[in-house]
Amino acid sequence: MTQKIVIKLGGNILKNLHPDFFAQCAQLKEQGFSIIIVHGGGSMISDWAQKIGKDAQFMNGYRVTDQEMLTIAEMVLAGTVNKQIVSKLASIGLTAIGLSGIDLKLIEAKQQNTQLGYVGEVTKVNISALHTILEQGWVPVVASLGVGTNESHYNINADEVASAIAQALNASHLIMVSDVDGIYIKTSSERKMLHKATPSLVEYYIQTGEISGGMIPKARSSIKALQHAVQEVWIVNGTKPLPFDEELFVGTRLHQEVSDRVTLS
């Protein structure tokens, strides 16, 4: 069975991806992997909201999304950002198809809570649609939107969409690509990067407040993926080449271990 790799692109990194990123995606395809790309677009959503005089508000790392903000998110994610990524993949010879979680009911969702507005949490992934796309040898590029009952649409944290897809497809790896080197832990005197850890340690650091803000959804999404057969989750910096060389790995690598040892630098 072909191994699958889900790559999540954070909105803040899209403009600053390493020049070799898409070529590395092509190399993975050449090696026989199936690739699924999931993306956000947070910074661009905020930029467009600001242009119409609308302030971005966040709660526990999630964007508060009213109807107007949802419209902006749909335009930016399913329109501009999605097609930019598809074009980049096409430029290196990969056949990519851009869609949002609304298309084909790829991502079904429900409202996360009323305070966040039209922010959803994933309830179901349309696995058959993804398999159909992958069987053609195409690369699906998925914008982090979802559809609920009564045709309601939701803005969904892209980390959570990527994690849900990785779980549904039994992906071997989930690679979270952002603008930071990995998960940082706040100690009493400094910030240190978490190199390797298990889900239990990550959850511990969330509970103690040593992991906070926008890193919480990313960390929790990683934990869920590992609890559903995903072998490893990488959290890496997209301004650098993807770290496929074990000796040169820079980032946070999360996986199930017997021991709860942790490596910090």
Which residues fall in the annotated binding site for substrate? 41-42, 63, 155
Question: Which residues are paired to 125 by β-bridges?
Answer: 107
Is there a contact between 183 and 251 (Cβ–Cβ < 8 Å)?
Answer: no
**What does the alpha-carbon distance between residue 49 and residue 10 come to, in Å, rounded to a whole number?**
18
Residues contributing to the annotated binding site: 41-42, 63, 155
Give the end-to-end CA distance of the chain in Å, rounded to a whole number: 37
**What does the alpha-carbon distance between residue 182 and residue 99 come to, in Å, rounded to a whole number?**
28
**What does the alpha-carbon distance between residue 245 and residue 141 come to, in Å, rounded to a whole number?**
25
Q: Which residues of 37-53 are buried (b: 16+ CB within 10 A; e: fewer)?
A: bbbbbbbbbbebbeeee
